[in-house]
Amino acid sequence: MAPLFVFPQNLQALEKDDEEEYQENRLFVQNAIDIARFRPSELEEFVKGVSFDLSDKELYCIEEQDVFDRVYSLVRGFSSLAPSCKFILAESLRSNLSVLLPNVDSLVRVSQVQDDDETTTLDRVTSYRNAFKIYSFFLLHIILTEESNTGSSNNAKVIASSRKKQPVNSWNWESQRGRMLNLIANSLEINLSLLFGSADPDENYLSFIVKNTFSMFEKVTLLKDSETKDALCHIIGACATKYHYTEQSSASIMHLLHKYDFVVTHMADAVAFAEKKYADGTLACSLIREIGRTNPKSYVKDTTGAENIGRFLVELADRLPKLVSTNIGLLIPHFGGESYKIRNALIGVLGKLVAKAFKDVEGEVSAKSIRLQTKQAMLEILLERCRDVSAYTRSRVLQVWADLCEEHSVSIGLWNEVAAVAAGRLEDKSAIVRKSALNLLIMMLQHNPFGPQLRIASFQATLEQYKKKLNELEPVKLTDGMTDGVPSDNDSINGEGDVDNGNAEEITNYQPESLTDSLHTEQEIASKDSSVPDVGNVEQTRALVASLEAGLKFSECIAATMPTLLQLMASSSATDVENTILLLMRCRQFQIDGAEACLRKMLPLVFSQDKSIYEAVENAFVTIYIRKSPVETAKNLLNLAIDSNVGDQAALEFIVGALVSKGDISSIAISALWDFFCFNVNGTTAEQCRGALAIICMAAKSSSAILGSHLQDIIDIGFGRWAKVEPLLARTACIAIQRLSNEDKKKLVLSNGSRIFGILESLITGFGLPDNIWYAAADKAIDAVYILHPTPETLAADLVKKSLSSVFDGTSGDALQNDIASSNSIVLSTIQVVKLSRYLFVASHVAMNQLAYIESCVRKIQKQKGNKGKGDSEGTENAETQKDNGINAELGLAASEDAVLDTLAERAEKEIVCGSYSEKNLIGECAPFLSKLCRNFVLMQKVHAVVLLLYFISFIF
């Protein structure tokens, strides 16, 4: 009988120590060979000889002392072997073990038949046991040697560089490792009780395998190989579950989880494999119990461990939801722990369990009741933790609720409670919580069970009709089963808020027709009192009424958040603004009341210095208003221009210009706008005509050539009869004239100069426009005069004179000035406030434009002078010219020209605002009247508008 092989602590322990007591019945190395003394060729022959013996003799020849000593010597020096020698030795050991494993079953049959030769059978069992242990030990040691070999990376480089010409027997460690570990894993699946004489294998054997397997989990590069990782998970699952090595395995797993973050998913895979392979959740329960026993305070300092343990619990709940839900009570102490990371993880665990563990409704009634109670308890914890002291936990809970909504795991009965919590968290002091709340509301809208239209009026009208229908079906007042239209727990909605299965399917099938496609305006529904679709019996109608009430409540809840969303759009946090815009876009999609108006408020955000905010606004604008159809795009834009206020108009102009430059607003869309402006589209109104021209003017800021093709249309329509129907059309036409290209301006003046200036003069001095529009139109008309007219000061002077004359009903200039100079009180007492206000407005705006005009002329002269000087310096100057320029520079004559120009500009400005009566300047002619007017305190007290205009004039002057 051969000596027994006992698993040693390490490889060197196989060598017999003379100082220790020698055990006769134990296999030791008696004649170790130093392979370092072999030459390469001798070593290769030595390896081939060992391989030949292993393949030619019996499988258990490894226990023969000579073979054992030689194999030991090669394994001890394995790292120094050539790649080909490594392959030969490892392949021989691996193939012998793979052949040995199936023979264990045949050994069972032999032992059962040969009862008369127990000694022979016992010897064979011992030999198989020794061979099994020796092969396993040597293979594991080879694996550990290669993994710990610092030169393995170099080997990998060599293999990678010679991959194309790799011989069949080359040492490709990556593929060999997976094959070896799979063999070790498969060896645990055979009937090892025959070899070890008990249900559990040798303690040393299991300890050696488990210890080294867990040491391999510490190498992140090793785990990247799926075959290797699966084999390691298989080994752990088998040892911990099949061979009851649970406590030791749990301790090792906990150690790895606290130390390495990359092992989390792999450990979860190993635990899940054990439960699936052996239908035994002992390892998972042991780990959950161990985590529950840990003092929650210990995780406060060990933040890495807390995060890893939390992730592991979430991964485990995802893989084994039913098992974790059964043992979730062991983790209750950590819900109130000081480590928010553990709390966050447990929140994630609850979310996984609610989404996965409770979908199976089959089973006994009592078991189903327990499951529903457990689920309800988990949901209550999730709601409670929305008010957790930690912002991270509050944010995590809201994220979990969003996941549950996406997976359709939130019942209708709980829907509005969750929506109310999310709406309340919009005002949370933490930005991460507000972000999660916004995302949750987006998810709730996207996956809401009430339909694609959530208008409050539609729900109210439909609900009223079905309440009447319910009263007709059940004339007796419902008191036991329903209170205010909400079913009790014993009716169609059960204790957890779910609709009973009997009615839920019919109601679900009906909703697309009753709650979505047929939800029109309240007036349309009210006109169809007698045509309400029938959904079935009383119980089904009652359930539908409850669903409609829930939908109405949800719509009202979302609509009530609009003021808060407006505040969030003004937040200093970019994430607040971005996510608020996304929520408002979703609200607009579902026709939430007030969403459209709130979205208009985002337009000024295009001026934000934060690039992410600008991009969010631009993307939202394109999504909402830019359509594939150019006509729809044009209509959306012109309607936006019509409804926008002054502040929004500036933002709209900015974003339209940007989109035109990018090509998002195509030339075809611009052509569609021209069609609206020219009334080429049926049903176009004057207001739409004005809106189309306004958008075209905005686009012209980026491309002024857009206006050149419709010059005549701008004059004929913009200042024609449609301007009387839509007074602001004339103002918009003035803006269009200002934004013409220089060539188009010259063309307009040459072809229609007298007509256009006559129109502008009539618009400024006439009374065809109402007061609330005249000021805005006159402002743009005066600007147009100074942009188009070759000598704008002459026309402007006439405008001021005519406007002043209109104040006194056409009194001639000399008579008027005489009355003013003589302080005639009758003159001021007969003034009409409207005419006076208009005169002051014209005078002030002409003065301001004249100042700007003078400055532009000065800049133009300076630019021409600079260009001339630059041209002279670049040209060929004769010696005389250069000499004259040098003399002028020395005498300061060049500088004196600039001084003269500045003096002339200053004098021109003074002549505008400081002229006396005798000098007959533009504003000088008005100075005596303005002086008299300002001293008339009685008139000032009566006419507040005049006071404001005078203040404005004094500010300019």
**pLDDT tens string 541-581:** 888 899 999 999 999 999 999 999 999 999 989 999 999 99
Q: How far apart are CA 632 and CA 895, in angstroms?
A: 61
pLDDT tier at 312, thresholds 50, 70, 90? very high
Q: How far apart are CA 699 and CA 696, in angstroms?
A: 5
Q: How far apart are CA 381 and CA 497, in angstroms?
A: 16
The sign of the CA dihedral 945, 951, 956, 957 is positive
Q: How far apart are CA 2 and CA 126, in angstroms?
A: 8
Q: Is the pLDDT of residue 494 over 50?
A: no
Helices 711-718 and 686-700, interaxial angle, to 10°?
Answer: 140
Q: Is the distance from CB of 571 to CB of 577 less than 8 angstroms?
A: yes
10 Å Cβ neighbour count for 833? 13
The sign of the CA dihedral 125, 129, 134, 135 is positive
Q: Is the pLDDT of residue 394 over 70?
A: yes
Q: How far apart are CA 200 and CA 210, in angstroms?
A: 14
Residue that the structure tokens 């993307």 belong to? 619
Claim: this prediction has a pTM higher than 0.85: no
Task: Provide the token pair at 410.
Answer: 């939130």
Q: Which element (helix H / strand E) includes 483?
A: strand 482-483
Q: Considering only CA atoms, which of 836, 802, 842, 799 is closest in space to residue 944?
A: 836
Q: Which element (helix H / strand E) includes 487?
A: strand 486-487
Q: Is the pLDDT of residue 46 over 70?
A: yes
Amino acid at 414: L
Rounded mean pLDDT of 291-296?
85
Q: How far apart are CA 947 and CA 312, in angstroms?
A: 75
Contacts of 471 (CB under 8 A, 6+ apart): none
Q: Considering only CA atoms, which of 308, 302, 376, 292 is closest in space to residue 344?
A: 308
Task: Provide the token pair at 884.
Answer: 């004259």
Helices 501-511 and 538-559, interaxial angle, to 10°?
Answer: 60
502-to-478, 480, 498, 507 alpha-carbon distances in Å: 21, 20, 11, 10
Q: What residue spans define the domains of the chain?
A: 1-148+172-198, 202-358, 387-472+536-606, 791-810+830-863+901-956
Name the most confidently modeled range: 504-513, 645-654, 940-949: 645-654
Q: How far apart are CA 271 and CA 528, in angstroms?
A: 62
Rounded mean pLDDT of 734-756?
90
Give the pLDDT confidence score for residue 552 in this predicted structure: 94
**Residue 499 bridge partners (DSSP):** 493
**Residue 487 bridge partners (DSSP):** 482
Q: Is the pLDDT of residue 18 over 60?
A: no
Q: Which element (helix H / strand E) includes 482?
A: strand 482-483
Residue that the structure tokens 């080359």 belong to? 170
Amino acid at 618: E
**Residue 486 bridge partners (DSSP):** 483
Contacts of 800 (CB under 8 A, 6+ apart): 842, 843, 846, 922, 923, 925, 926
Q: How far apart are CA 341 and CA 312, in angstroms?
A: 12
Work out the widest C-alpha separation in the chain, in whole angstroms.
152
Q: Is the distance from CB of 7 to CB of 204 less than 8 angstroms?
A: yes
Q: Is the distance from CB of 473 to CB of 538 less than 8 angstroms?
A: yes
Rounded mean pLDDT of 288-294?
88
Give the pLDDT confidence score for residue 497 in this predicted structure: 39
Q: Which element (helix H / strand E) includes 486?
A: strand 486-487
Rounded mean pLDDT of 189-197?
73
Task: Provide the token pair at 499.
Answer: 């609709």
Give the pLDDT confidence score for residue 144 in this predicted structure: 84
Q: How far apart are CA 583 and CA 446, in angstroms?
A: 10
* 222-236, 347-361, 472-486, 758-772: range with lowest mean pLDDT: 472-486
Task: Provide the token pair at 549.
Answer: 């009430």
Q: How many residues does the structure list for the chain?
A: 957
Give the pLDDT confidence score for residue 887 in this predicted structure: 53
pLDDT tier at 642, thresholds 50, 70, 90? very high
Instruction: Classify strands 486-487 and 482-483 as parallel, antiparallel or unpaired.
Output: antiparallel
Give the pLDDT confidence score for residue 169 in this predicted structure: 47
Q: How far apart are CA 839 and CA 800, in angstroms?
A: 7
Contacts of 186 (CB under 8 A, 6+ apart): 101
Q: Is the distance from CB of 450 to CB of 515 less than 8 angstroms?
A: yes
Task: Provide the token pair at 608.
Answer: 């934000």
Q: How far apart are CA 887 and CA 894, in angstroms?
A: 10
Q: How far apart are CA 381 and CA 67, in angstroms?
A: 65
Rounded mean pLDDT of 260-271?
93
**What phi and psi values does residue 218 have, to the nearest 5 degrees?**
-80, -5
Task: Provide the token pair at 423.
Answer: 């709406």
Give the pLDDT confidence score for residue 163 in this predicted structure: 42
842-to-340, 817, 915 alpha-carbon distances in Å: 68, 19, 18
Rounded mean pLDDT of 447-460?
91
Residue that the structure tokens 């706008």 belong to? 673
Note the pLDDT tens digit of each residue in 752-781.
Answer: 888 999 999 999 998 888 888 898 899 999
Q: 3-state secondary structure string, 293-324?
A: HCCCCHHHHCHHHHHHHHHHHHHHHHHCHHHH
Residue that the structure tokens 């036409």 belong to? 733
Q: Is the pLDDT of residue 821 over 60?
A: no
Q: Considering only CA atoms, which of 77, 75, 76 is closest in space to residue 54?
A: 75
DSSP 822-838: TT-HHHHHT--HHHHHH
Task: Provide the token pair at 350.
Answer: 């609850």
Rounded mean pLDDT of 218-236?
90
Q: How far apart are CA 368 and CA 371, in angstroms?
A: 5
Give the pLDDT confidence score for residue 371 in this predicted structure: 76
Rounded mean pLDDT of 67-73?
90
**Residue 493 bridge partners (DSSP):** 499
Q: How far apart are CA 642 and CA 645, in angstroms?
A: 8
Q: Is the distance from CB of 4 to CB of 25 less than 8 angstroms?
A: yes
Q: How far apart are CA 416 and CA 411, in angstroms?
A: 10
Task: Provide the token pair at 827.
Answer: 């003159």
Q: How far apart are CA 182 and CA 235, in angstroms?
A: 9
Amino acid at 45: E
pLDDT tier at 949, thresholds 50, 70, 90? low
Note the pLDDT tens digit of each residue in 831-844.
Answer: 777 888 888 888 88
Q: How far apart are CA 181 and CA 225, in angstroms?
A: 12
pLDDT tier at 395, thresholds 50, 70, 90? very high
**What phi and psi values does residue 741 have, to the nearest 5 degrees?**
-70, 160
Q: What percent of the chain has pLDDT over 90?
A: 33
Mean pLDDT of the chain: 79
